[in-house]
Every structure is written in C-alpha cells, then in structure tokens.
A and B are shown apart, each in its own frame.
Chain A
Amino acid sequence: MFKLLKFLGVAMAAAALCSCGSSSQTSAVATSTARGTLAQNPPFRIASLNAADLQANLSSATTGAQLLQITGNPACGVDFYHVEFWTLGGAGETTESSGALMVPTGAAPACSGPRPVVLYAHGTNTYKALNLADVTVASNTEGILIAAMFAAQGYIVVAPNYAGYDISTLGYHPFLNAQQQSGEMIDILTAARAALPNTLSSATSDSGKLFVTGYSEGGHVAMATQRALEASGAAVTGAAPMSGPYALEAFGDAIFLGDVDLGSTEFSPLLTTSYQKAYGNIYSAPSDVYSATYSNGIETLLPSDTAIDAIFAAGLLPETAEFDSTTPVVSIAGNAALSAELTALLSVPGSANYPLPPTAQTPLFALGFGSPYLINNSYRVTYALDAVSNPDGAVPTPSAGVPLAATVPSQTLRQAFYKNDLRNGGWAPNSPTLLCGGDADPTVFFSVNTETMAAFWSSLVQAGLITVLDVNGTPAGPFAAVQTEFQANQAATLAYYQTPAGGGLSLAAAEQAIVEGYHASVLPFCAVAARAFFSQL
C-alpha cells in the first residue's frame, strides 16, 4: 500500500509539473482612471450581425419593420461593442461609465475602411440598466434605432449610456449638466477611438469626420458637446441636435409658470438630484421642493431598475401632477400688484383666473395639476418670483430682438437652469448645424427651445450655417420628404388607433394617444434628416 501511494504521488507530481503552460490572454484592464481612458481594451463585442441578418432580425418584429421603412434596409453589417471608460461625475468625481461602439462591417466600400463617426447622445431614460450596445434586448429601442439609422449605413456610432446607468456606480445621473455630459461624450469618443484598432472590426477605421447628434436630453447633450469640442479646437464636421431642451432657463420658466410638459414628473427628480449633487444648493432637504407624499427617497428614485409604470403604480411618483391643483395665493408684503400678477400666473392654465389666452396645448398643461402633487406651492412661488423679477428673454413674453437668458437669476434651481442654458456664454456653432424637432412636441417645447436657439444664433453666425427643420411644418425645402413622411405617419397612426387591431379608440382617445407618443415619434424622422444632412458634409 505504501508503494502504491508513493507510485501515485510520483504520477501526480509529474502531472503538476506539467501544468505550467500559459493560457491565452483576455483584454487588458486599464490601470489609469484618468478621464477618457478605455477601461477594457479591446472592449467586449456583444453581437456581430451582417447586413442580411440585421435586416432579418429587425423585420421579424413589427416595430423593427416599421423602423426599416424609415431608415432603409441595412447596407452594412454592424459589430456592437460595450465600451467601458473613465469619466467624471457631476461633482467632478471619478467614475466609470459605459456605452456603445457600433462599427459598420462588410465588403461594400461604404462599410469598411475609413468611415465617419456619429457621436450620439440618447434621450431621457428612466431604466437604470440601459445598455445601448445590447441589441439583443428589444426594449433597447434607441440603440436599435441608431444602429439601423447610422451604423448599418456606414457610420461608426459612439454613444454613452451616461454616468449613473449600466455598469456605472455613480449613485445618480448628471441629467442636463452641460459640463459633465459634454465631458462624458468627449471621454467616450477618446476611449472608442483608442478601442477601434484593437477590435475584431479593425478593417473599419475612423475617417476623421465627426458628426454630433442626440435626441431630447441628448439633443441638449449634443449641442453642449458641439460647443465643448469647438472650444477645444476639435473639428466638428456637422451637428444635429434634435428636440432638446437647449434654452433651459426659458423652458424651466414655462413649466413653472404653468406650461407643464408631458414627462415633467420624471424629469423633475432627475434634474433636482443632478443639480443638488453638482452645485449643492438646490435644497437642504428634498422636502423643500417636493411634497411629503413623494419627497422620501426621491433623490435615489431615478434612474431605476423598476419600470416607470411600476413606479407610478407604487405611488412613488405622480404620473402627471407636477403641481398642486390648489394653486397658491401669493402675498408679497408691500406689493399687491405683483402678488396679484403671480397669483393669476400660477393658476391652472385654462382656468378662470389664468391670464394668457388658451392654446391647443392648454388641456395638456392642465394635466400637470392635481393632488397628490409632486412640487410644493411654496417652492413654485419662489421660482416664479425670480422668473418674474429677472425675466428670461423668451418666456413668458418674448422680448424684442434676441431672446437672451436672464443674466442674474437668484433662485438656485433657476441659477442651475441658467448655468446649463446653451444661450449662456454667447456661444454659436461654427460648424453646419441642423436643429430638428416637431412644433407640437408636448414634452420638449419646440418654440421655447429650438426656435429660441435659432433666433439667438441668427445674429451670431453666417447665413446658411444653421438649418431649422420642423417635421410638422408645411413640406418645403431639402427635407420636404421627411416632413411629408412624418405627417403621413402621424395620420396613419391616428387611423390605426381607431381600428380594432390598434385598440379601437375613439377619435379623441386616439388623438390623446398621438399626443402622448408625439415626442418619441419625431425621433426617427429627425434622425433620418440628420443622416441626410451629414451625408452632404
């Protein structure tokens, strides 16, 4: 028995000596956490689809097939990479973030070799696990859209998920923080450029052409990024911010003065948390802003792993009631006229006391008032007092000439809006820019944002540098086809909602559904316009 053990021991020792061989390598993990550093090099490829498979996958679902009708069939395959990189949070804190690098592939000349880069900023998303690179998930509609619109047509797409999402451990999202978000966009661009030559798709390279675009929140981010890139001396070939809240102070004033946009109860906690983290002066406690019904835990509510509808259902946020339906009676000592003016201005739009004439959107704005409500009357009054005392050039009454932002807001949230209002600083693009949106947008108002920016820039840039496109406008000019298609799509959708397959809604209910879906429905049409705009540059 002893001999057997010794015998076995020798065999084991021989085996152990041989287990010294090396194994193959995986990607390298960066030791630096400096901003713009690619954390995993090369990055992980989530999926690789050739043009035919991409088309087949998209066509297999109704929404995908509809998208293809707008984007056209894929000309290229697409490789989808998950890029992890280092950036800074809203307060300058070092944090890891992630995003998508979508690389066109294939033998066609428009699919490999030197290709232009589209740097894309996504719209507001309450889903914390958002990963634009993961096209295997059907809920990633915006990731799928930019893949079909840009990558499958030969553009290298770089798009951050944003700090606070996906793998990021930052406990909040620096929502509409121009400095942070433009910095993060430039950081992922730096990381993606470092990654591309090391990927499995290295037959495609960066041509040096750079286009910046984004939708909604991402429209603001795209414009801020264009500004930051131009300030740094980087060449921007063209930009197309879409449906963004650019004139943030004007937009904030419109909302606080009663033009409550659709989605405001989602945007408010994202905004106040972002600015509280960055500037530290929005409140001493969330209950300074928010009603007792919702203030508890509101700082960490969004983004969330829970779907927004479940958050509404759980009573953690009101669906539309941004403000108290019992509007405040303002009493400012020694100023009866201002007190009366504010009291009237803060009443529910369309109500007897409301001073402004009703518009098509007045019933929508009225939905922003209810009980329980999100924001306290006392807070609303402090904001409105500043808005009336230090008025913005565009809201409530457009001033003559260039609609400047207020120069010295005193209320802290309004100061934050002013700081992130893209009129602030007097910047105007020096690269060709398309501003696209829909003029009936109930979520991000077209006139307050897009038209205000265009008017603001009109005296600052040479003629022809800025193109404004209202997809809802009378079809004319280079984008007439896009306008026609958008309007036909709206009409078809309205008719569809009234069919049994579409829910059999009444005309009024169908119109309501169109309003609710309007903001999202503009995106693919503005994106196709942006692509056409870029292709000329």
Chain B
Amino acid sequence: MTKFIVQARIVLIAAAALAGAAPALADDVANNSARIGLYSIFYHVSSEYGLQGPYVPPGTNIDAKNVETLYLAYVRTIVPHFDLELTLGIPPLQKTVGRGPATLGSVPYDGQVIATARWLAPTLLAEYVFFSDDAKFRPYLGLGVNYTDFYDRDSTAQGNAASGGPTKLSLTSSVGVAGTVGLTYRIAGNWKAYASYSASQVKTRLDADTAGVTRTARINFGPQALVLAVGYSF
C-alpha cells in the first residue's frame, strides 16, 4: 500500500513538473489537458529461443497475461495541431505464465502463472491532431518513445516448483518506439472523450537465478493498448 502511495505521488510530481515545464506558453488558449481512463493492454509475446539454461527442455517459453489498469496522461499543445502526450499507467500486477511443455518433470508448466511483476511504463508521444481546434471529432497520429521498468518481480510458488527452488528474477528495463492512433470527441466545454490504439516495442532480458543456476530469456512483449478516457483542458 505504501508503495502504491509513493508511486501515485511520483506520478503526480511528474505531472506537476510537466505542467510547469512550459509556463511561457500559458495564455488565453487551454494548452493543457489531463486525461484519465481505462488502459487495456494486450501482449504479443515472442521469444525466439525461449527460456535457455540448465535443465530447461527445448520449447520451454513464457507468456504474459493481458492486463487492464488506470490510464493517466498529461497532454500539452505546443503549437496548433501538435501535442505532446505523457502517458502513465498505474503499475498493474503483471502475470507471467509458462508456455511449452505441459509439465517439467511432473511439475505443471504450460499455462501456470510462474511469476508476477509490476511495471511502470511512461510513454512520451508527439502527436499530430487533424482538423481545427473547435471540431467535434479530431483524429490524431502519434509517434514517440516508451520506457518500461519492471519491479516487484516475484516467482510464484508454481514458478519456484518449475524452476527448482526459490527464484530471483531480474528483468532489464526497456526503451523502445511507440506509436498511436486516436480520436478526440468534444463533449462540452473543456471536457473531451478519447479513444486510442497504441503499440510499443518492449524488449527485455530475463535472468532467473535458482540456487545459483541461471536461466535466461530474451523477450519481446509487443504490447498493444486500447485506451478509453476523458480529459479536461485547462
């Protein structure tokens, strides 16, 4: 719980810092907007060589379960039609499942939740917004960068059983390209609704240490996200 509060505060600090980052632009036009909504993430995990290391049969792999969390974003209009968006999801509990053999020895593997982790994945997008500022619908396209950091990594009891004992996990953080397409709908006044689809490149190297025995995997999570959100401009 404490950790959640700390993280929430950091998110707010980051948002506040962004708001203060361009005070010179503050004028009669509402340049800033804050958005909140549903962040639904679908993974397309690929790991070319799967899990590698001692006592790992060929074809042993891992997968990530799709996850939903709270979408938070701050958007600043730099010049008309050009926005910068910083997206943060409330770090969700991400479940990793085994893929491959039904069992390792007699230990169930395929489909078992073998690890959990939380991630923080700020994404910065430069967006081009079509149509004029007063249009009811405004589509947009964006391109940017995603940074993903994994923490609170835990091997589950099933994961420990499959690995051969208590297992320490480490996942390298990732920096990759992100892109988005979206649509803005002006509800009324300063309120707007948003829908977007985005994809990003998240590559990591997993190291699992079980009593000094190390297994590794190079994983491309290939996350895609659907966002439904409302925003307030100010």
* A→B interface (CB under 8 Å): 3-4, 6-8, 10-27, 29, 40, 42-50, 52-53, 77, 82, 84, 136, 199-200
Contact = CB atoms under 8 A, between A and B. Distances in A.
Interface of B: 3, 6-7, 10-11, 13-14, 17-18, 21-22, 55, 78, 84, 86, 88, 91, 103, 105-107, 118, 120-122, 124, 126, 145, 147, 149-155, 160-161, 164-170, 173, 209-213
A284 B160 CA distance: 52
Contacts of B21: 3, 6-7, 10
22 contacts: A7-B21, A10-B18, A11-B124, A14-B88, A14-B122, A15-B121, A15-B149, A19-B149, A19-B151, A19-B173, A20-B151, A24-B169, A26-B168, A40-B212, A42-B166, A42-B211, A44-B213, A48-B106, A50-B106, A53-B106, A199-B165, A200-B160
Contact of A26 (B6, B152, B165, B173): B165
B151 A18 contact: yes
A7 B84 CA distance: 9
B211 A23 contact: no
Given A6-B21, A10-B17, A43-B211, A200 B168 contact: no
Contacts of A77: 106
Nearest to A80: B105
Contacts of B150: 19
Given A22-B152, A24-B167, A43-B165, A15 B122 contact: yes
Nearest to A26: B168
Contact of A45 (B120, B122, B164): B164
B153 A23 contact: yes
CB-CB nearest 5 A-B residue pairs: A21-B151, A44-B211, A26-B168, A14-B14, A45-B164
A3 B21 CA distance: 7
A45 B165 contact: yes
B208 to A, nearest CB: 9
B55 A46 contact: yes
Given A29-B212, A46-B164, A17 B84 contact: no
Nearest to B152: A21
Given A24-B168, A49-B106, 8 more contacts: A7-B21, A10-B18, A11-B14, A12-B122, A18-B10, A23-B168, A26-B168, A26-B209
A24 B159 CA distance: 12
Contacts of B164: 44-46, 200
Given A7-B124, A29-B212, A44-B212, A136 B55 contact: yes
Contacts of B121: 15
A399 to B, nearest CB: 54
Contacts of A82: 211
Contacts of A25: 166, 168
A194 B155 CA distance: 24
Contacts of B153: 21, 23-24
A27 B165 contact: yes
Contacts of A43: 165, 211
A24 to B, nearest CB: 4
A10 B14 contact: yes
Contact of A14 (B3, B13, B154): B13
A53 B169 contact: no
B87 to A, nearest CB: 9
A203 to B, nearest CB: 13
Interface centre among B11, B91, B149 (most CB of A within 10 A): B149
A45 B55 CA distance: 10
Contacts of A40: 211-212
Contact of A44 (B13, B149, B165): B165
Nearest to B155: A24
A212 B160 CA distance: 32
A480 B12 CA distance: 83
B106 A11 contact: no
A347 B78 CA distance: 103
Contacts of B14: 10-11, 13-14
B147 A18 contact: no
Contacts of A3: 21-22, 78
A20 B91 CA distance: 13
A42 to B, nearest CB: 5
A10 B167 CA distance: 33
B166 A14 contact: no
A14 B123 CA distance: 12
A43 B210 CA distance: 9
A21 B93 CA distance: 13
Given A23-B154, A45-B164, A12 B107 contact: no
Interface centre among A18, A19, A53, A136 (most CB of B within 10 A): A18
A7 B124 CA distance: 9
Nearest to A200: B161
Interface centre among A10, A25, A47, A199 (most CB of B within 10 A): A10
Nearest to B88: A14
A461 B170 CA distance: 60
A47 B105 contact: yes
B210 A26 contact: yes
Contacts of A20: 151
Given A24-B155, A25-B168, A49 B105 contact: yes
Contact of B10 (A14, A26, A47): A14
Given A6-B21, A14-B13, A136-B55, A26 B147 contact: no
